[in-house]
Chains A and B, each alone.
Chain A
């Protein structure tokens, strides 16, 4: 029972981050029909900026929580500006061009990682813990800060799902995702909605980064590992499907935590790939996918 509890907690943590990440990825795909391979770099950018800012403004007079809050906010804003910039100068021209946008995003991802490496250097950084303490829940151990961050992440995810399901913006996003021509006929401003979708997705990746900053080892290519898993999650779940991305993320998280616990992590990744191949063979458009 203890092992169950531990695995449950591990899966919960991991899936929270993946859910935020893949929600954004699948949103971009749904609204713009773009496969954004550079999405991970937003996540990475936030982490790297926080890794620079926190030590920089650190002082005995500044409570750590406030430090993180400032660093987090600044990084998220900077990353969203970056997202806006990329949308206008790159992705806007490649909407509904899956191949073109994918290739472009691959190039961007490579370019950004190279730049990160240049400015950040190759040495990974671990930031100081935000909260101290451990808890035991359901027989498993979890640090207090991981628990708090996970809960916040899940709340953000829930808020996002609510936004998509219940608000006017969310309805517009869904309309465009389902049939953008029909949406335009109904007077929905497609370009604006696409921009909002892209920015929301960027925000999700950014906040995932901010929430993970205290608990992750930060390096220049931290985004790409996340990206691959996020990509797997949304493809398994079905491109463009919100529930699909959640299912996919949970599945990936469970494989990672179970695999990492009983076997070694690289074997877990191997299992993830094999399972991906199997799912796609049985359901070529993902579990909830329908094109």
Chain B
């Protein structure tokens, strides 16, 4: 379809523009902003991936935190190469999510949300109790390798683009269809011979893999991490990005995270109104833009609106 080829071309162009732009971001405030937007986009995409099975993954902060701490230990404490830090962050988050997901995905809806929230808080409290990683004060000295220092924004954008592509391909694949089918009616999916539970666990694992890398990138961008960075609030902000951007397409988290992060910078100029800002963003998005910015764009382009999918619980 010509439409889809145009879209692919457009996406490719935008990605290259983003990448090129980030090469010139330098090392000052612009660089931080680029990194910040990119990581928020990544986390939003990760959260959204679990929405394919109809769940709100409030455990995301736990996996981001684990990735951050794991990479921090590798870099700041053990002096290992950056690549090792990244890989171990991803692996740790994935492995933990396999174990936790196997247990928690037996529940659904509000029960799953609560158990995920509980898991995040438990992890956070554990971090505060471990001296090796700095306890409540956190860990410092997490720097990207010298070679990357000037190009860290570009590096982050490149990794984020790659992961976004991977998530998109997965969503469009047969595996993605099974996930959406599970959200629609998991009894039917079981009936035709698919192990729904393991599929859900795999979905969470993929999301956590991405979240873990996001955590590592975050740690090396901020150079300092503490348990408070990985609380429930992180998941709520991620949710805000998705609600504003729109859930029905992967462009949603990209738009939402970009727009909100940039707007937040503007709003911050007026005072410390972070909670009001994000809270209002979610409320307005939910009440007035059910399909987010993506929905608005669809309307402007004259495309049919996506079918409203609600999880059955």
A positions within 8 Å CB-CB of B: 29, 35, 89-90, 93, 97-100, 102-104, 106-115, 117-118, 228, 231-232, 235, 239, 266, 269-270, 273-274, 276-277, 280-281, 284-286
Q: Measured between alpha carbons, how far is A111 from B240 in the docked complex, in Å?
A: 12
B:285-313 near A, CB below 8 Å: 285-287, 310-311, 313
A266 and B121 alpha carbons, distance in the complex (Å): 11
C-alpha spacing A97/B312, complex, angstroms = 9
Query: Is B282 an interface residue, CB under 8 A from the partner?
Result: yes
Complex contact A104–B125 (CB within 8 A): no
- In the complex, whether B202 has a CB less than 8 A from a CB of chain A is no
Q: Which residue of A lies closest to B286 (CB)?
A: A104
Secondary structure at chain B's binding surface: helix, strand, loop or mixed? helix
Q: Which residues of A contact B125 (CB under 8 A)?
A: 266, 269-270
Partner of B114, one of A104, A108, A276: A276
Q: Is the CB of B240 within 8 A of A102?
A: no
Q: Are B111 and A106 within 8 A (Cβ)?
A: no
Known: A110-B278, A235-B114, A276-B114. A98 touches B283 (CB 8 A): no
A276 touches B280 (CB 8 A): no
Give the distance in Å from the alpha carbon of A99 to the alpha carbon of B312 in the complex. 10
Q: Using a CB-CB cutoff of 8 Å, which residues 23-68 of chain B contact chain A?
A: 54, 56
- Residues 124-137 of B, flagged 1 when their CB comes within 8 A of A and 0 if not, give 01000000000000
B110 near A35 with CB under 8 A, answer yes
Contact of A99 among B111, B114, B279, B311 (CB under 8 A): B311
Inside 8 A of A231's CB, which chain B residues have their CB?
114
* Residues B311 and A107 in contact, CB atoms below 8 Å apart: no
A80 to chain B, nearest CB (A): 20
Q: Which of B108, B121, B282 contacts A273 (CB 8 A)?
A: B121
Q: Is the CB of A114 within 8 A of B286?
A: no
Query: 15 more A-B contacts (CB under 8 A) besides A98-B109, A114-B273?
Result: A29-B110, A90-B283, A100-B286, A102-B110, A107-B243, A107-B285, A110-B275, A110-B278, A112-B279, A113-B279, A114-B276, A235-B111, A270-B122, A274-B118, A284-B111
The residue on B at minimum CB distance from A106 is B236
Return the 10 tightest CB-CB contacts between A and B, nearest first: A107-B282, A111-B279, A114-B275, A110-B279, A114-B276, A273-B118, A107-B283, A284-B107, A104-B286, A235-B114
Chain A residues near B311 (CB, 8 Å)?
A: 98-99
Give the residue of B110, B115, B236, B275 whose beta carbon is less than 8 angstroms from that of A276. Answer: B115
Tell me the smallest distance from the CB of A32 to a CB of chain B, in Å: 13
The closest CB in chain A to the CB of B121 belongs to A273
CB distance from B234 to the nearest CB of A (A): 13
Selected from A103, A110, A280, the residue in CB contact (under 8 A) with B115 is: A280
Cβ of B181 < 8 Å from any Cβ of A? no
Decide: B313 and A98 in contact? CB cutoff 8 A.
yes
Asked whether B205 is an interface residue with its Cβ less than 8 Å from the other chain, the reply is no
Shortest Cβ gap from B209 to chain A (Å) = 23
B69 within 8 A of A: no
The reply to whether A111 and B276 contact each other, CB–CB distance below 8 Å, is yes
Q: How many A-B residue pairs have CB under 8 A?
A: 116
Q: Inside 8 A of B148's CB, which chain A residues have their CB?
A: none
Given contacts A98-B110, A110-B279, A111-B279, contact A90 B122 (CB under 8 A): no
Q: B229 an interface residue at 8 Å Cβ cutoff? A: no
- Report which of A112, A235, A277 forms a contact with B119, defined as CB distance below 8 A: A277
Q: Assess whether B177 is interfacial by the CB under 8 Å rule.
A: no
Within 8 A of A (CB), among B85-132: 103-104, 106-111, 113-115, 117-119, 121-122, 125
| Residue pair B240, A107 in contact (C-beta under 8 Å) | yes
Which chain A residues lie closer than 8 Å to B118 at the CB level?
232, 273-274, 276-277
The smallest C-beta distance from B218 to any residue of chain A, in angstroms, reads 21
> A108–B110 contact, CB under 8 A?
no
Instruction: Name A's interface SS.
Output: helix
- Whether B140 is near chain A, meaning CB under 8 Å from some CB there, is no
Asked if B239 is an interface residue, CB under 8 A from chain A, the answer is yes
* With contact pairs A98-B109, A98-B313, A239-B110 given, residues A109 and B119 touching in the complex (Cβ less than 8 Å): no
Q: Which residue of B lies closest to A281 (CB)?
A: B103
Is B170's CB within 8 Å of the partner chain A?
Answer: no
Q: Tell me the bound Cα distance from A167 to B310 in angstroms.
A: 35
Q: With the chains together, A122 CA to B275 CA distance in Å?
A: 14
Q: Is B281 an interface residue (CB 8 A)?
A: yes
Cβ contact of B287, chosen from A90, A102, A239, A284, cutoff 8 A? A90
B279 x A117 contact (CB < 8 A) = no
Interface contact B107-A109, CB-CB below 8 Å: no
Contact call A102/B113, Cβ cutoff below 8 A: yes
Residues of B within 8 A of A117 (CB): 275
Interchain CA distance A232-B108 in the complex, whole Å: 15
Q: Which residues of B contact A98 (CB under 8 A)?
A: 109-110, 311, 313
Measured CA separation A228–B58 after assembly (Å): 14
Contact B111 A286 (CB under 8 A): yes
Residues of chain A with a CB closer than 8 A to B274's CB: 114
CB distance from B312 to the nearest CB of A (A): 10
How near does chain A come to B144, taking the closest CB pair, in angstroms? 32
Are A285 and B111 also in contact (CB < 8 A) when A90-B287, A111-B283, A117-B275 are?
yes
Complex CA–CA separation, A266 to B110 (angstroms) = 24
Contacting A at CB under 8 A, from B170-217, are none
Distance (whole angstroms) from the CB of B235 to the closest CB of chain A: 9
Contacts of A90 on B, CB cut-off 8 Å?
283, 287
Q: What are the residues of chain A within 8 A of B283 when measuring CB–CB?
A: 90, 104, 107-108, 111
